Structure formats: structure tokens, C-alpha cells
Amino acid sequence: MHAPPAAPRLVHVAAAAPRRPAAVSLLDLPIEVIDLIVRWVALLRYDYSESRRPVPSALHHVACGTNKLLRRVALPHLFRTWQSRSDSHRRVWMPGARGLVDTREFVRTWRQPRDDMGRVDDPRSLPRLESLVFFELPEVGAPDVPFPSVTHVEVRRSIRRGQRDRARAWFGRLPALTSCTISDPQAHLLPVLHTRPRLVDLAVTVEPTTRIDMDDPVWRQLRRLEVQVVKPRAGGGSAPVLNPLAFLLETIRYTPQPTTDIQLRHLSLSVRLDPHLRSDPKPMSQVVGALAHAFASVPLVSLALDEYTTCTPEDLSALATAFPALESLSLPDRTIWNGSRADLLAALSPLTALTTLTCRLLPDTPSSAYDDRASDDSDDADADSTQYASPRSIALEAASALRRLALVGFIGQHTAIEWMRVRRKRGDAQRAPQEVERVRVVETGLERP
């Protein structure tokens, strides 16, 4: 007898062997994905050595490397912010046919040097400028060339009444302005802002006695308003304000009008912490009452409050009743909770659209069934179990009370801020939380100083 041929068996074995996946290089990804990766690398450029001197960051290595594609993507991020006047003639090699390129072509943000606040560079030297940051508004130089692409301007010192013409000239050169950060916006500045109909984002620093007339068109056209309250200047002669945030809100004049006339959706209110003054917690009921009175007819979707307060379930219930459309709520790390964890979270249940909650850790008493589900989480061992519940158990209980909650952030105590993402059961009509997991939330602004 002849032995059966072995070839088919060998072929069968070869066909069953797993195939090695094709190797994928970073450079094989779409250019849009590579740009996102480089943007992430750009966020890591604030590394410092032990001597507090800047060391070459990952972005420097990528932008100054030999790979043409990565260099072309990274160079605009490396020179995104104007560093100093000594950089005005710096040139870098750009791959391709462009050769040596002036770094001013990459600048998106210009910052006024502290040692030369009276001068500003010719705008024609920064063709793609998007943001201007002044310590003090300088004189307008000649020629009177506009900044056609600038959408944001920040003036850190107050614009005095005698500088109104200077401010009018500067804002007149910003036809595309949509965002502004200023200090102490007095009545003489409002006519200047009237000339910028696209302005929808405004951040201001005010004293408690500042009067904000929400009936003025400048305030009514805003979609986002950020207000920081500071203590009055020395020698002002005014009596100290015990609850500055509530005092400011009580002086806001706002006449309710049809909803179509209200543009404001995002509101942030804070009181600057003064380390030289002893501060006692204020009842949040005063802040919530004044806030509801001033903005009761405004359909806010985002609200942030930052003041040293004592908060009860009744305060949260009043806040949820006044602003039922909130999608994001942020309470400060200076909050002192006065109530059980279950009552505090249940008070937020009217916020059926809430997806993001940021707050201080809640008390661990009385105990909750969610503590058992999080008891095996070793990452929560650094939390102070004698005072506060673990972030994981709080996030689980909050997600049960708020059906659309997706992110829970915790401020203070053992970390600067810690985020938990909620995972829910698919197809569950009750949207019960299945698990929570730690995530990292990163601000993507590349214009930080």
C-alpha cells in the first residue's frame, strides 16, 4: 500500500496559521489625526527642571526634529504665542518649497511685555493673529490697520474714563471680536462695546458695589458671562460687604422679557479668595435667592458658583427649581455640606438634563449601599474615610439620582480635581449606572502663558 500524500495536510496547517497584522506607523495616520496628537503634545510643553528654568518639551523635540511631516505640523504650535520682541526676526526651516519661514507667520496670540507696556508691534507683522493680551491698553499706533482675524482681547488693568477714546480706537480695529476679558467695566466703557455686535463671551472683574444693568444691549447679547468679585480698593470709604456675591446679585437690574430676547446660557460667578482676610462661610440660601431673583427668566444650561458657603439640601432644591434646564453645574471646593449625601443628591433630581456635575466630596454618613460597590476600589484609599465618601461611591449614587449624568468631578481634599465617567447599561430604560471609571479631562487651550 502507498502512504497517503502529506501535502494537503501541510497546506491545511499553513492555512490555519494566524496572519501577522500589518504594521501601522504614526505617519500612516490621516493628517487630521496627526494634528490632534501634536496638539496633545503641545499641552505638555510646560515642563520645568528643578532649577525652575524651562527645559525642552516634547513639542520642541517634535518641531525641531528631522521628520518633515511632524515638523510641518508642530512648528505652528511651538510659535503659537508671541514670546518677546527679541523673537521678531527669528526664522525657522519649514519642509517643502517654503524654506526659511518667519516665525511671526505662526503667531496666534500676542502678549504685551511687562517691561514695555506702552508699545505694540505693527499688526501687519502678525498676519494670523487671533488673540491680544494687554496689561494696560496702549496708545493706538499708526497706521490705523485693523486686526481682521482677532476674536479675543484681554485687558488686565481697568480702562479709566480718560482712556475711553483710546479704547474706542482699539475696539474699532477688532471687527471680528467675539470674546473679551476686562476689569471693572464702568458705564463709560459700554458705548465702546456697543460697536462690537458679535461680542457674545464676556469675562469681567468687579467690586461688590458695581451695578450691572442687564437691560443694556451689551449684556443682553451675551451667551456666556463670567463675573469675578474682588474686595473694594483700599481707601474707598465703603463699609465691608459680608456676602459680596449675594450683594452684587441683589444690585443687578434685569427686566424679564420674552425668551427669544434672552441669549445668555452660560454663567460663572466667583469671589476671589483673599489670603489676608479671615473668611467665614455664608449661607448659600442668600446667594441662591439673589441669583434666582436676578436670572429667574434666563434658561441657563451651565452654572458655576465659587464662594465660601454652607449648603443644605433646601439650597440645592431651590437652585434646581430656578434653573431646571441646567446641563452643567459646578459648586466650589469651599462648600461646607449641611445634610446627608442622599438628601443632597436627591435635591438635584429636578435637573433632568444635567450631564456634568463638579463639587466637593460629600459626607460619608449615613452609609449608603453604593459604598459596598466601591469598597474594593484600592484607588480610593487616599480619601479621608472618616469624613468623606469615596469618589466612586458618590459618582454611582449621583448617577442613580440623575439619569443623564455622564461626568462627575471632585474638587479639593485629596486631589486638585478628579473626574469620574459614568457607564450605564445599554437598553435599560431606567438608565441605571453600571460602573464608573476614572478619566482625565484636559483643557485644550494652547494660549496659556
How high is the mean pLDDT of the chain?
79
359-410 confidence digits (pLDDT tens): 988 887 777 777 765 554 545 544 444 577 888 889 999 999 998 999 999 8
Region 248-269: mean pLDDT is: 77
Give me Rg for the CA atoms of the chain: 28
Q: What is the CATH number of domain 92-232+240-439?
A: 3.80.10
Rounded Cα–Cα distance for residues 104 and 296 (Å): 47
Bigger pLDDT: 244 vs 97: 244
* Cα within 13 Å of Cα(327), Cβ side: 5
For 409, the 3-state DSSP assignment is strand
Beta-carbon count within 10 A of 40 CB: 13
pLDDT band at 9 (very low <50, low <70, confident <90, very high): very low
Question: pTM score > 0.85 for this model?
Answer: no
- Is residue 355 within 8 Å of residue 406, measured between CB atoms? yes
- Cβ-in-10-Å burial (0-12, 13-18, 19+) of 88 comes to middle
pLDDT at 136: 84
Question: What is the reported pLDDT for 173?
Answer: 85
* Most confident by average pLDDT, 118-127, 232-241, 325-334: 325-334
pLDDT, position 6: 46
User: Could you report the per-residue pLDDT of 305-339, keeping only the tens digit for each?
Assistant: 988 889 999 999 999 999 999 999 999 888 889 99
Q: What is the grid cell recorded at 40?
A: 496633545
CA atoms within 13 Å, Cβ hemisphere of 302: 11
Residue with cell 501634536: 38
Q: Is the pLDDT of residue 350 over 90?
A: yes
Mean pLDDT within 437-444: 78
Domain segments of the chain: what residues? 26-78, 92-232+240-439
DSSP codes, 180-196: EEEES--GGGHHHHTT-
CB of 66 closer than 8 Å to CB of 106: no
As a 3-state breakdown, the chain gives helix, strand, coil percent values, each rounded to 5, of 30, 20, 50
